[in-house]
Structure 1
Amino acid sequence: MFSKSAGQIIARMRNRKLSASLIPRSGLQVRARFSSTQAPNEPRPTGSLDHKNFYKTFGRPIAKVFLMAIFTYQLAYYFWVRLEQNEIRSEMQAIITDLETRIEALEQAKTQKKR
């Protein structure tokens, strides 16, 4: 019914115990390394983490305020430029209408001299 006899299974279990007892085991656990450099075993001072904790806590609010300030500046700049363009257009239109009236007056004077 079974392909292996009980004697073969017991022999394999004994071989595993022998091979496991031949490997020296130390009290240290092996840790997997996920980078090419090994981290130093020295503990880091906690004072150097103050700036990291600050930006971890307040990083998003600072970024939001900064981005809103840039957006507000750009919006104000856009409307300022638009108002200046409208002012320049109206000044140019006033100059053009003044020149057109002068041309019409000169043309009328020229036609009256010819008669």
Structure 2
Amino acid sequence: MAGRVFAHRAALRGWSRVSRASREGAWLGRRRYATKPPPRPSPSSQRPEESKGLVAAFYRTFGTPLLKSFLGALFTYQILYWGWLKLEAIEEQRNTEEEIQRLEQNLKDELKAKAAQNAQARDEATAVTAVSKAEETKEQASSLWSTIRRSVGL
């Protein structure tokens, strides 16, 4: 009788103080007086549970390492991609600067050629003007001589 009272009080204390063995024993104690054995699950229904249990066990065991590996690979990829973009931007900037320098040099060369062409045209114009002035002066001199000859009577 004392054993029953002790077992009853242990059940009243709550699950927090009861060990796992006593909890399992309590469950078994409930089945102890059953007249029929517990129903067994059918093999078809047991297989998905087993496979689900295997998958769950696999991910429970290897889930964290797989996640760490995946995140490490993703982080590495992001770093490499960022570095590649940075190098591309630097290369693009250098190409742009080189093109600007090349175009500036072409512009300077064209301006020098244009200035030389203008100077040559100006020299030619000056030469033509000098020749025309010389001809005018020659004509004026000849007309002056003809006027002097007439007035002197030669």
**TM-score of the superposed pair, with normalisation by structure 2:** 0.44
Q: Distance in 2 between matches of 1:73 and 1:99?
A: 39
- Residues 1:52 and 1:78: Cα distance change in structure 2 (over 3 Å): same
Select the structure with the greater relative contact order (CA < 8 A; seq sep ≥ 6).
2
Q: Distance in 2 between matches of 1:73 and 1:66?
A: 11
**How many residue pairs get matched?**
77
1:4-15 maps to which residues of 2 (within 5 A)?
none
**Identity score, percent:** 34
**TM-score of the superposed pair, with normalisation by structure 1:** 0.58
After superposition, the C-alpha distances for 1:41-81 in whole angstroms (9 at most, x for unaligned) are: 86573632111011011111111110110010011011112
- Higher helix share goes to which structure? 2
Q: Which amino acid aligns with 1:83?
A: L
- Tell me the equivalent position of 2:3: none
Structure 1 residue 47 and structure 2 residue 50: aligned? yes
Q: Which runs of 5+ in 1 are unaligned?
A: 1-27, 29-40
Q: Distance in 1 between matches of 2:40 and 2:112?
A: 98
- Tell me the equivalent position of 2:79: 75
Q: Which amino acid aligns with 2:54?
A: D
- Tell me the equivalent position of 1:108: 112
Q: Which runs of 5+ in 2 are unaligned?
A: 1-29, 31-38, 120-154
- Tell me the equivalent position of 1:87: 91
Q: Distance in 2 between matches of 1:50 and 1:86?
A: 52
